[in-house]
Amino acid sequence: MSRVRVALDAMGGDDAPRTAVHGGLLAASPDLTVLLVGDQVAIAEELTRHEGLPGRGHVVVVHAPDRVTGSEDGARAARAKPDSSVVLACRQVKDGAADAAVSMGNTGAMMAASVMHIRRAPGVLRPAIATVIPSGGGYTVLLDAGANAEAKPEHLRQFALMGRLLAQTVLGRPEPTIGLLSIGEEPERGTEMVQAAHQLLRDVPGFVGNVEGRDIPRGTVDVVVTDGFTGNVALKLYESAAGFLFEEMRAAAMSSVRAKVGGALLRPALRRMRDRLDPDLYGGAMLLGVRGPAVIGHGSGNEVAVRHAVEVAARAVRENVIGRISAELERLPGAALA
């Protein structure tokens, strides 16, 4: 595939369309057309600010008369606003006008819109949201981060296969290790559903057994598989814990003159660390198991985060993650489908 087309929700994100348009322009190239979906007047105005950027000739504006804000109930808004930019971005994929969709806006709305409007890939029982999080092992794939509140053992087995492919293609790990999230290492620990999933996962290449909550920050495995309820709680807790600790650290660095001097000297090193751990910079989440990759970035991300999210979506298209997921599910159909 020579030319990839990514539909970007230009009205998503804290200061939309400013940052989204800027990031889209940074990503656009002769190989990558970016469809800027949103209020055409506002987008056109932003575009005039960046006439000199080389990407300027590789963006297309798609008008969307409505938008979903960050404070709305995303799932509800995605249903109630069929002409919103996030819904129309996903519809570009459904209609064949784009190969992938990206939004930096309301996470719930993007999840709901992509599940509603981008059809499931062949062989996939349930799509899953995969997120790439910083960890002691570099980066770890966690899925499902919230596409489905409930999961069956066979779903978790498919999540494992999908996460494995993502780790191979996006993280570049040839033989990723996979763990099933539970509350003890033994196969008989956890809920009945998790115990049954453990048995089904045994034939998934790279499966090392159960892992615990502590293994997520440690990066014990490349891929952590769980249901969307637990995964969503874990992801939001992890992001928020990092923010809480950075705040506490900042307060500590203001607590005395000595600490202030120390903090000032340490700042560049801490900023590099924060950049590595910053959720805005590691590409957000991706909905797997649908016919076109859907990438969900963080609303507070800057233009570099937007570019990164668009490029992750394009890479997933070029690497044919979707086609390979279907092929893999066909090759290893699993006990419940056999």
Joined together, the tokens standing for residue 112 give 């709901």
For position 236 contacting its own copies by CB under 8 A, the verdict is yes
Quick one: CA torsion of 225, 137, 277, 316, rounded to 10 degrees? -60
CB 249, CB 267: distance < 8 Å: no
Radius of gyration of the chain (CA): 20
Q: Is 136 in the site for its own copies (CB under 8 A)?
A: yes
What single letter denotes the amino acid at residue 225?
V
Q: Determine the Cα–Cα distance for residues 53 and 22; give it in Å rounded to an integer.
A: 9
Q: Looking at beta carbons only, is 49 or 250 nearer to its own copies?
A: 250
* Least distance in angstroms from the C-beta of 116 to its own copies: 17
Cβ-based nearer residue to its own copies, 51 or 192: 192
Size (the chain), residues: 338
Residues 31/2, Cβ–Cβ less than 8 Å: yes
For 235, the enclosing helix (H) or strand (E) is helix 228-252
Q: Does 80 bind its own copies (CB under 8 A)?
A: no
**Min. distance of Cβ 279 from its own copies in angstroms?**
11
Pairing of strands 128-135, 285-288: antiparallel
Considering only 97, 264, 335, 337, the residue that binds its own copies (CB under 8 A) is: 264
Footprint on residues 1-60 left by its own copies (CB under 8 A):
none
Q: Please tell me whether residue 256 binds its own copies under the rule CB under 8 A.
A: yes
Under rule CB under 8 A, residue 146 binds its own copies: yes
- What backbone torsions phi and psi does residue 205 show, to the nearest 5 degrees? -60, 130
Among 2, 51, 269, 338, binds its own copies (CB under 8 A): 269
Q: Which of 213/333 has CB closer to its own copies?
A: 213
Binding site for its own copies (CB under 8 A): 73, 75-76, 108, 135-136, 146, 149-150, 181-186, 189-192, 194, 212-218, 226, 228-230, 232-245, 247-249, 251-253, 255-256, 258-259, 261-270, 272-273, 276-277
